[in-house]
Chain A
Amino acid sequence: MIEVREVSRNFGGFQALNNVSLNVEQGELVALLGPSGSGKTTLLRIIAGLDFADTGSIHFDGKDATAVAAGDRQVGFVFQHFALFRHMTVFDNVAFGLKVRKRSARPSKAEIAERVNHLLRMVQLESLGKRYPAQLSGGQRQRVALARALATEPRVLLLDEPFGALDAQVRKELRRWLRRLHDELGITGVFVTHDQEEALEVADRVVVMNKGGIEQVGTPSEIYDNPATPFVYNFLGHVNAVPATVSGGVAHLGGLRMGFAEGEAPEGVGAGTAFVRPHDVEILRDGDGILVTMRHAVVLGPSVRVEMELENGQAIEAELTRHRFTELGLERGERVLAAPRRAQLFLDDGRQYTVSCLTRPVAPRIVPSAEGGIRQRRP
């Protein structure tokens, strides 16, 4: 188990990490998700011992490891750009961690060879042991980097943007493969990513980071369905931000009234922002809704993304099924009504509510499509 306690790190005036605490349980795969500069890589490097915290401590299995050198932490680190030793063959790269051990702890040559070959089989690179890194494709290099990190049998595997330097197709394959590998080996893993889809698909738990702090920690579905802050809402995929006011126990989004859950309605008046997922927006010709102007439609496989404009010129997006889109027959420049079925309301004073449409929309509910397509895995 990894325990990060109140860690801060400052780089010449830039606060990379600000009092961050985090627990990673044995055998779990955790994603550190955030935009660049959010401190996620710094946190990973501090866990690995490649960087050190100004204040705070790191504990492995309850033991303080804050001052332990990287090589003694028993972590496997996979670098964003692989960092393979360019003058060594694939075999020697994987064997490196075993070969540099002290004589007393070093396995025999035959044992090293056996272990390396086993790892190369596991990453499906058996036949490429004699090649040099420069002779491999990006995906192959990534797998060598993984095998090298696993060779020393680390108790924790740390991966920095493991798929960042690969093209889209290889990326998808490799991340499924990583998930399978993790399930087979049962090793504790932490990986850094700025790709929300990657984090939601691969990780058991997601840690959303922003400006050197943790915004939210939760399972992929918790993070996606109940974002704790406006930042998390914004960062996890497309979202519309609509200005809203509250009065008389009802939220007003433009001309649309939305209700609170039983007994949750705030007293008095307030103002804030309502976040609406595009697949929660229905488009109507009459009824209750926010007045918008139709701008543009993009067909994305089975769904259609409709871009519209609010009265104040702000953009708002809806995602419809193709069937519904054809049925509506929207024209460019046409004035229609946008009706969010549900929204997350963040008031300026920090309070947060889930609000839903008071009047039933005329059209049938639309099944969430690719945008919300998060895979539910292991309970």
Chain B
Amino acid sequence: MATAATLPTTSAVPRQISRKARRAAWTRRILIGLAFLLTALFLLVPVAVIFQQAFARGVPTFWANITHPETLHAIWLTVLVALIVVPINAFFGLCAAWAIAKFQFRGKKLLIALIELPFSISPIVAGVAYLMVYGSRGIFGPWLEEHGLQVMFALPGIVLVTLFVTCPFIARQVLVLMQSQGVDEEEASLSLGAGGFKTFLYVTLPNLKWALIYGVILCNARAMGEYGAVSVVSGQIRGQTNTLPLQVDLLYHDYNAAGAFAAASVLAVLALITLAVKTIVEIRSRTE
């Protein structure tokens, strides 16, 4: 303060700045604190409650709930649907992104809009729409019944609506990157004598690797978690067409809270694993 007294003209300015800086620092702390508080309140607490409730009656009860045949079947069905849907969507996403990024054609904008359609349609609406098409009173229903093909209230129906709901995830990720990369490297590869397949394998695919993996993770998370559309087309037959989210809902409505939370904890663990893998992929793709 001695210097402030002897040099009032120079000290006035720093003091003003420091007061402003202090205020800015406080603003920052409050905002960050608020963000953490809200995240904890709305995200962390519910997730914690899931595990707390799942283990509320001890580990043996939890284990019994998990290994209940219906729940086990629901887990298996959920994984099976994801195993079918994700590769199909990866293939479709690559093809669609390739077509859109590398070729000029009429109706390109329409195709992009169609691919993104599931983002803007409520899943339950999608489910009802599929019911109208493949259900017994739907457009293809009678024909399918005649040939003994069960689509609705069975695995094919669940797979179909999940495909619909998750179709934009991989295509979007890959397309954005493809468009930014252009076709120069592919042309270079072609002129160096590599054929179409070798060019795809050695040039296109490695360049898309991280976008593809990222899209697969997102698609997988959504495929496993989908409730609305699946609930309409699955028929919710216990031990047959119940996926994990449906099973959670069912158990909860049966007043079996412990069972519901045990099943939910499996979903939560799957989500946490997805999150971890996604974070690792993000870090690795940034360093490469």
Contact = CB atoms under 8 A, between A and B. Distances in A.
B207 A71 contact: no
Given A79-B187, A79-B188, A85 B193 contact: no
A121 interface: no
Interface of B, secondary structure class, is: helix
B190 A101 contact: no
B52 interface: no
Contacts of B191: 48-50, 70-71, 73, 75-77
A151 B202 CA distance: 18
Contact of A83 (B184, B193, B206, B209): B184
Contacts of B194: 71, 96-97, 100
B202 A100 contact: yes
Contacts of B145: none
A354 B184 CA distance: 46
Nearest to B185: A83
Interface in A144-199: 148-149, 151-152
B274 interface: no
A149 B207 CA distance: 21
Contacts of A70: 187, 190-191
B185 A86 contact: yes
A87 B206 contact: yes
Contacts of A149: 192
Contacts of B207: 86-87
Interface string B184-222: 110111111111001000110011010000000000000
A95 to B, nearest CB: 10
A182 to B, nearest CB: 19
A173 B193 CA distance: 30
B14 to A, nearest CB: 43
Interface of A: 48-50, 69-73, 75-77, 79, 81, 83-87, 96-97, 100-101, 148-149, 151-152
Give me the 10 closest cross-chain CB pairs, A-B, nearest first.
Answer: A83-B184, A97-B192, A100-B194, A71-B193, A83-B188, A77-B191, A87-B206, A70-B191, A70-B190, A100-B198
27 contacts: A49-B191, A50-B187, A50-B191, A71-B190, A71-B194, A71-B195, A72-B193, A75-B191, A79-B188, A83-B184, A83-B185, A83-B187, A83-B188, A84-B188, A85-B185, A85-B188, A85-B203, A87-B288, A96-B194, A96-B202, A100-B189, A100-B193, A100-B194, A100-B195, A100-B198, A148-B192, A151-B192
